[in-house]
Amino acid sequence: MAESASEITAKVTAKMQEFQPRFERMDDDYEIWDMQETSSTMDYDRGKHKAVSSTKRDNDIHVISNDLRTFADQVQSTLTSAEMQIMVRMAEEEGVDKRDDIGKLERLMRFALDMADRRLRKQVVPILIDSTAWFSINRGSADARVLVYKTKSGDVIFDILPQDPRWMAFETCADGLLWTGYTTFRSGESLKNEWGYTEGVKSNNEVIDYWRQIDYGVFENAVVNRGNFVKKPTKYKMRSFPQIIVPVATRPPLASSSLDSTDMVEGYGDSVFAPAREINKTWNRVASIVATHANLLSKLPTINYYDEQGEILKSTVYLAEYVKNLPMGHNELKEVPMKDISPAIAGLLGMLSQQKERAMLPNIPTGPQPPSGTLYNLVQEQGNKIFNPQLKNLNYFYEEICRLIEEQLIDSDIKVDVKYEVKKKYFETTVKPVDLKKPHTIKVEFNAKSPWTQLDTAQVGQMLIDLGLPKTWVWENILKIDDTRLIRRLLALEAYEYSPEGIMREAVDVLMEMGYRFEASKLVEKMDLMDEQERQTVEGGQLPPAMGAG
């Protein structure tokens, strides 16, 4: 049944209202990440789940902790620099070596992701891993729309668009997503250029990108603005829903025991700030109290007692070379009695700091001696406990992307010319739909490693090889190397390049490039002589007299 633009708008708006508690939590987390003043005030209202200030005075100092922002940036750096391994597995057959087929598919996926990143860079937005990691860390979910198609010019487009979960409405059923509505805000000019839509205002047009499944293998996409179709409903034939929504698995969806399911919705797919969110607000409040108190102590108010002949003073005399003339005995200045901050308050601040640190990456103590590698490993092990849910989120997210890329290439009968580089060597190969139809599975694994852990892993791999385990198994399962077949070929090529014959051939090329043609020809003659001698030796014959005398 066809849906009107107004019906789509109403459906998405209603679902956005249902998800509002979850969106409010995301907004609060963004305020923490952005270090906004809403979480650092003098008055504290737990009913609103945030600190609020009813009266702001000139002497108030609002302290905003940068701990959680620094923590989020550290996790962002770790996740975006994590090593991604794409692992294709095929059923083994006796007498059949499938490593070439496996390597071809693994290279295809990396090529597709690289092309998607290049497309995003052209749009002046971060690449896929940077955006996805940020959303996973700060929003608690990773969302994207995946489309693969071929242009009229023959170019294959890998259109993978990361999306902000804050503006994603969706409905699910037992088989997966039923529909999604992603809201963005576009300028009128961009709507006109992309879709020829002229009804938009100059800026901040609320645009809903709406997808729904209307039949098995048939999906419909429409773009809506203020109850009008920017892009009319268009049908697409594809095997799976092109939208990916992967919440961070901090906990599964739980049913609420009350009629109000707000808590259930709010906590599903949480951010890294979850264990420190409320502690951080309390820390900001206590730190603001301490800082404001110190500010008052540095400029204590003064009480001016004066009689009929005394003067009313409007400022203090705590200024350099300032002289204030007063009649003797008619004014008396006294500071307002004010105690120093209580040691209990300072202790409370320290306790809150410890509570926050337990929810973040542990700090490496600095001192006269540099930290040891063992300490780095311990810190890394503790850190993994913090962002392991985000690592798993990236694994599942990228696996879904690879699956959709495969399906859409097969369904659209698209072949891809894969271009790639390994160890500064350029390669090309062609992947056809028939290659993708071979039974296989794809797994993606992100490994967040420090230089210390990488060194340990390399040492473990070498030890296992020395103990007799196959190199290929160690490369795949310990060192997490993609396309081990290609690595073996590169090693064989490298062995030839450093062999006597390979070095002599390289010398001939260098001599020719430098203009030493006579020397190059003499070296070629010597190589031919060596080849003839080797051939005669293999055949068991005698060398010709001229060669024997030479």
Between these two residues, 507 and 250, which has the higher pLDDT value?
507
Least confident of 114-118, 198-202, 537-541: 537-541
pLDDT at 502 over 60: yes
Q: What is the number of helices (H) and of strands (E) in the chain?
A: 17, 16
Per this entry, what is the length of the chain?
Answer: 550
What pLDDT is attached to residue 424? Answer: 63
Q: What is the DSSP letter of 337?
A: P
Measured distance CA(543)–CA(393) in Å, rounded: 69
What pLDDT is attached to residue 325? Answer: 81
pLDDT digits (tens, 9 = 90+) for 19-77: 998 999 999 999 999 998 765 444 444 444 444 445 567 778 888 889 999 999 989 99
Measured distance CA(207)–CA(26) in Å, rounded: 21
Between these two residues, 276 and 473, which has the higher pLDDT value?
276
What pLDDT is attached to residue 410? Answer: 95
Contact 375, 453 (CB under 8 A): no
Question: Quick check: pTM over 0.85?
Answer: no
pLDDT at 179 over 80: yes
What pLDDT is attached to residue 41? Answer: 47
**Residue among 139, 191, 187 nearest 163 (CA):** 139
Between these two residues, 256 and 245, which has the higher pLDDT value?
245
What pLDDT is attached to residue 355? Answer: 77
For 316, the token pair is 């203090």
Least confident of 122-136, 155-169, 468-482: 468-482
Least confident of 163-167, 202-206, 213-217, 464-468: 464-468
Domain boundary assignment for the chain: 35-65+273-301+325-341, 500-541
The average pLDDT across 488-516 equals 83
Most confident residue range from 282-291, 341-350, 450-459? 282-291
Least confident of 216-230, 373-387, 409-423: 373-387
The average pLDDT across 463-482 equals 80
